């Protein structure tokens, strides 16, 4: 998939653990892992909004388009 | 899910009765052969003596088709309505039922065109038409389950 999820990078920048982020945004760690690994088929706006709020960032910081 | 369980129960009963019927034909081969012979003597058949074998092959393939439908129903009970294994089993079962019904329809048409046991064959036409519709319906159900499985997968992977 040409859409890359840079959630790991943002978590490292904010020095936050996956479990803490999952707790804040209200999803399971299994679902967060699916999102991080790029296996997710879609992301709800509400989830994206919660992630941006928790990590204090923009959607573009998390999602990236790579041609190929 | 109760309706599926009831349907599975009926299908298993059908399979058991069909297995008993087919195995009795193998065990008591000679006596069944005599019954068929008397039918042949009274009305004759387009296929001659091989009608016994043709009828049993048709019964056997129908049995296999129904077994596949049973497997699909069992998988639905076990893993829910939308799973790819149930879709696959339904597809094979539906194809077998359609195939066997089409084959028997051709047989009945040939018998009618050769004026053998016309009254019986018209009955066969109706039953096989119904079996063909059933097989086709099962094929459509298989397609619906396949599409539903894809939608469920996408829904599950939407975070």
Which chain A residues are within 8 Å of B149, Cβ to Cβ?
A: none
Unique residue bearing structure tokens 């009945």: B108
Please check whether residue B1 is in contact with residue B39, taking contact to mean a CB–CB distance below 8 angstroms.
no
Would you call B158 helix, strand, or coil by DSSP? strand
Q: Which of B156, B157, B159 to mutate to test the interface with A (most CBs of A within 10 A)?
A: B159
- Using DSSP's 3-state secondary structure scheme, residue A4 falls into strand
Query: Is ipTM > 0.85 here?
Result: no
What is this structure's pTM? 0.74
Domains in chain B: boundaries: 2-158
For residue A38, the 8-state DSSP code is T
List per-residue pLDDT tens for chain B, 159 residues long.
889 999 999 999 999 998 888 888 777 666 666 666 665 555 566 666 677 777 788 888 999 999 999 999 999 999 888 889 999 999 999 999 999 999 888 888 887 877 766 677 778 788 889 999 999 999 999 999 999 999 988 888 888
């Amino acid at each position: 998939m040409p859409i890359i999820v840079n959630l790991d990078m943002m978590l490292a920048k904010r020095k936050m653990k996956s479990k803490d982020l999952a707790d804040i945004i209200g999803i399971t760690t299994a679902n967060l892992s699916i999102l991080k690994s790029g296996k997710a088929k879609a992301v709800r706006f509400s989830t994206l909004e919660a992630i941006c709020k928790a990590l204090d960032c923009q959607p573009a910081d998390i999602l990236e388009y790579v041609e190929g | 899910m109760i309706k599926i369980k009831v349907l599975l129960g009926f299908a298993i009963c059908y399979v058991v009765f069909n297995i008993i019927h087919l195995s009795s034909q193998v065990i008591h081969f000679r006596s069944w052969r005599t019954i068929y012979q008397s039918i042949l003597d009274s009305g004759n058949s387009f296929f001659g003596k091989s009608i016994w074998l043709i009828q049993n092959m048709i019964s056997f393939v129908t049995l296999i088709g129904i077994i596949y439908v049973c497997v699909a129903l069992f998988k639905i009970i076990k893993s829910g309505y939308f799973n790819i294994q149930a879709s696959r089993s339904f597809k094979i079962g539906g194809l077998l039922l359609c195939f066997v019904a089409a084959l028997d329809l051709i047989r009945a048409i040939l018998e009618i065109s050769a004026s053998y046991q016309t009254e019986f064959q018209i009955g066969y036409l109706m039953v096989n038409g119904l079996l063909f519709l059933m097989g086709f319906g099962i094929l459509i159900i298989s397609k619906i389950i396949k599409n539903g499985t894809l939608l469920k997968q996408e829904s599950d992977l939407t975070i």
